Amino acid sequence: MEYFIHTLKNGMRLVHMPADNEVAYCGLLLNTGSRDELEHEHGIAHFIEHVIFKGTTHRKAYHILCRLDDVGGEINAYTSKEETAFYAGFLAQHYDRAIELLADIIFHSTFPANELEKEREVIADEINSFKDNPSDQIFDDFEELIYPVHPIGRNIMGTPETLQTFDKKAVRRFMSRTYDTDQMVICSVGKIPFPRLTKMIEKYFGEVKSKTRKTERTPILSYMPSQEIRQLNTFQAHCVIGNIAYPAMEPRRMNLILLNNLLGGQGLNSRLNMSLREKHGYAYNVESTYTPYIDTGVLTIYFGTDPEKLDKSIALVHKELDRLRTQKLGTLQLHRAKNQILGQIVMSTDNKENLLFTLGKSIMLFNRFDSMETIAKKIEEITAEQLIETANEILAPDKLSMLIFR
């Protein structure tokens, strides 16, 4: 997949991948998330994601929302623990409209006091809604369990108490400290000549004042496995088992991606799904997820089951982990596992919105975007012995933590 890169004089990078589609996507990814908050700022990165749409020096909130909606497009945002993204989907003929709007909200927002107050209530309701879904909440609580007293362990939304402290000054302080131009990547996937796109980006983003990051993220402290059971009186028992894992920069990361997919990835033929759901009927949803961060990572196994089946389900999970640690994949098994993960990666790029984020994040972290040929080569080089080694390093019983809601 061909792509083009241009660096603005303020340090912002533009990456564009041509796509012969009528629908285009463009966004700005920022290497700032909830882990960059100070303790009293808990939730402010996510708060900014909400209130940045509430008015600029050029537009009121209504006009921001209508700018792309009026031509059938949409604008949105998300916050994670290490990044914030503002992005838009639109017909390719409206590139200029979308880019101008993104620049306006990111660099000219006014954060009206009345809008901040309304959004506090919206996010407080979002927090309460999240707590009504234990299958979602347990993942946040698990990371808090394995990263105690570290900002990466805190949930993204904050608390009702911290929300009340966020005013315009607090918002601007956080943005001044973390919204650095050398940590911003403008990404685009769509049908537009790159010289024309570059001209638009220079027009709307080129005059933004250069700002280089000088602060460093709090390093991850030592990990100690933990186990906890919380009585929530839920109809189902919810369980997460996991461990810290390889960071984004770790060369062995692809080994763990393949191993995780084999264990409990997207395929209905994953080992956990075949055991807990298909063979025993203990769980409707069982999955494993690998999330790499810049200096650490998390591998989690989740399932929900009848409380009476909880102990048996946990035993089955450990049985599958033991198989991965002790039984080397045969040639045919390994070949199938490689074909499956490669197919999933290729199919994911067919969703251009997903491709936009993958492209932008890759440039943000590595300043490159690997071709499918490169990815396929990395996958093909993985050996059965390497998977055994990774399984014993990440999935060893004495390294696993567990959180149960019941």
- The secondary structure element, H or E, covering residue 403 is strand 401-405
What is the percent of the chain with per-residue pLDDT over 90, rounded to a whole number? 96
Summarised one tens digit per residue, pLDDT across range 357-367 is 999 999 999 99
Summarised one tens digit per residue, pLDDT across range 311-344 is 999 999 999 999 999 999 999 999 999 999 999 9
Per-residue pLDDT at 316: 98
Question: What mean pLDDT do residues 24-35 have?
Answer: 98
Topology of 4-205 in CATH?
A: Cytochrome Bc1 Complex; Chain A, domain 1 (3.30.830)
pLDDT surpasses 90 at 150:
yes
pLDDT surpasses 90 at 132:
no
Name the 3-class secondary structure at 247: coil
- The secondary structure element, H or E, covering residue 198 is helix 194-205
**Angle CA(295)–CA(177)–CA(140) in degrees, nearest 5?**
45
Q: Write the CATH number of the domain with boundaries 227-405.
A: 3.30.830.10
Structure tokens at 16: 């564009």
The gap from C-alpha 18 to its chain's centroid, in whole angstroms, comes to: 24
Question: What mean pLDDT do residues 288-312 have?
Answer: 97
Name the 3-class secondary structure at 218: coil
Query: Environment class of residue 95 by beta-carbon count within 10 Å: exposed (0-12), middle (13-18) or buried (19+)?
Result: buried
Please name the residue that has the structure tokens 């309304």: 118
pLDDT surpasses 90 at 305:
yes
The C-alpha atoms of residue 290 and residue 155 are separated, in whole angstroms, by: 17
pLDDT band at 52 (very low <50, low <70, confident <90, very high): very high
Least confident of 27-31, 126-130, 350-354: 126-130
pLDDT surpasses 90 at 174:
yes
Per the CB < 8 A criterion, the answer to whether 249 and 367 are in contact is: no
pLDDT surpasses 90 at 130:
no
Per-residue pLDDT at 221: 82
Round the average pLDDT of the chain to a whole number and report it: 96
pLDDT surpasses 90 at 131:
no
Per-residue pLDDT at 69: 97
Angle between helices 168-178 and 113-131 (to 10 degrees): 80
Residues 6+ apart with CB under 8 A from 388: 324, 325, 326, 328
Query: Environment class of residue 191 by beta-carbon count within 10 Å: exposed (0-12), middle (13-18) or buried (19+)?
Result: middle
Per the CB < 8 A criterion, the answer to whether 396 and 325 are in contact is: yes
Residues 6+ apart with CB under 8 A from 1: 17, 349, 369, 371, 372
**What are the domain boundaries of the chain?**
4-205, 227-405
Summarised one tens digit per residue, pLDDT across range 211-268 is 999 989 999 988 999 999 999 988 899 999 999 999 999 999 999 999 999 999 999 9
Does 4-205 match 227-405 in CATH topology? Answer: yes
